[in-house]
Structure 1
Amino acid sequence: MPNMKVVTALILFILVTICEYVAGDVPIGDPPFVCDDGRTNLKIDWDGDVDDYHCLESHYWSSQRKDSIEWTEKLENFEAMPATEVCMNSSIVYEDPIPTSGAHRPLWPVYGEYTYLPPQRWVHSLKLGAIVALYHPCTDPAEVETLRSVVRGCLRRHIISPSKELTEDLPVALVTWTWKVFLPYAYEGDMKDFIKTYALTAPEAHKYSDGQFKKFLKAKAAMVTNERDEVLCPEE
């Protein structure tokens, strides 16, 4: 004869899980209440170190926009890696510190700007056609503001986050599925060209719903044209 207390507890657990799923509180995953709820075991991806989003130098780097230098940019294309969804009980390690594809967490982030967002989250955004805009924390604030303005004005499906994987000579980067470009400063023309060419070309770009993960979200993305971002970088 089964233990009725155990059976009752199991039934209640299943009912609560179903109710949460219907309410939209249970994330993608199998089983969702174990895989990724957007709150549990987050330190496996990022330990919350403030050094990852603060400039530790005595001053911000001078903008190269003011320098008389030869224009340089670094555009790279990569083979797509398997887009495996990995639960929060397993770590994800990338060979490239700024990945353009590969394994990622089941919950993708709410589109917008973050205090810091680890790649294990935003790689999922790439698979959905988003643009990920990165800048080193020591980047000239005026260049960060230009980066922010261009990306926000081009499409709703974007992620903006600092990244210490960038360098002083190329402190700004735009990333899409299998593509990325490194820039010496936030050059408006090249950024818009990159977005128009490579955004929304990912395997699941037809999925335009917003994410659920929002830890350290600073500013949610606003609508630009519509949810599908049918016009990229529209003229004002």
Structure 2
Amino acid sequence: MKKVYGSAAEALDGVLFDGMLIAAGGFGLCGIPELLIAGIRDAGTQNLTVASNNAGVDDFGLGILLQTRQIKKMMASYVGENAEFMRQYLSGELELEFNPQGTLAERMRAGGCGIPGFYTKTGVGTVIAEGKDVKSWNGQDYILEEGIFADLSIVKAWKADETGNLVFRKAARNFNPPAAMCGKVCIVEVEEIVPVGSLDPDKIHLPGVYVHRIIQGDHEKRIEQRTVRKREEA
């Protein structure tokens, strides 16, 4: 099965459709699938629901899909750093489903494992629990959260072999693995594709069984919040 494609446009061909649910990896601007996001923008796919930790910044990451009004709903745990996100939400242009961060990650992982739902204490007694089933165990309440089964997963990894075995680098190993797991189709962009057999099996973070298509490319790697101090004089 061929998994390596020449570009984001080629990898996305035949996969995108209006109204689809996309699970996107990354945390802030770390480990985001920027090439695939740009490919979705260029394809013009509309009315998207996107499950992701956040929506990037105004002009980068998922923020560019907000600028083009291609996202109708975000399923996210953090909405800071993006003024356009705030503007669209407060004006009623964008639907928002808040998730506690761990709950969102577990919803993705659960979907990837074929688990339709799970109970958690996180969110009990808050607006997160409104409209959700509540059960008690040992005198404590738990709310039902549903697994996420996405039409498409878009993720960013450091290395892949040609069968799709993935290695993530440091903090980029955040939402990427669970996001990759929960999509009916998973497309991965990587910095390097290596021959089959060259990756140490003990160092593989996600097996290729979850991965359908791979692209290699150059990445901008922006810093979301650059904080520096003045140079101390000698």
| Pairwise TM-score range, normalised by the shorter structure | under 0.3
Q: Which has the higher strand share?
A: 2
Q: Tell me which structure has the larger Cα radius of gyration.
A: 1
TM-score with structure 2 length normalisation? 0.25
TM-score with structure 1 length normalisation? 0.25
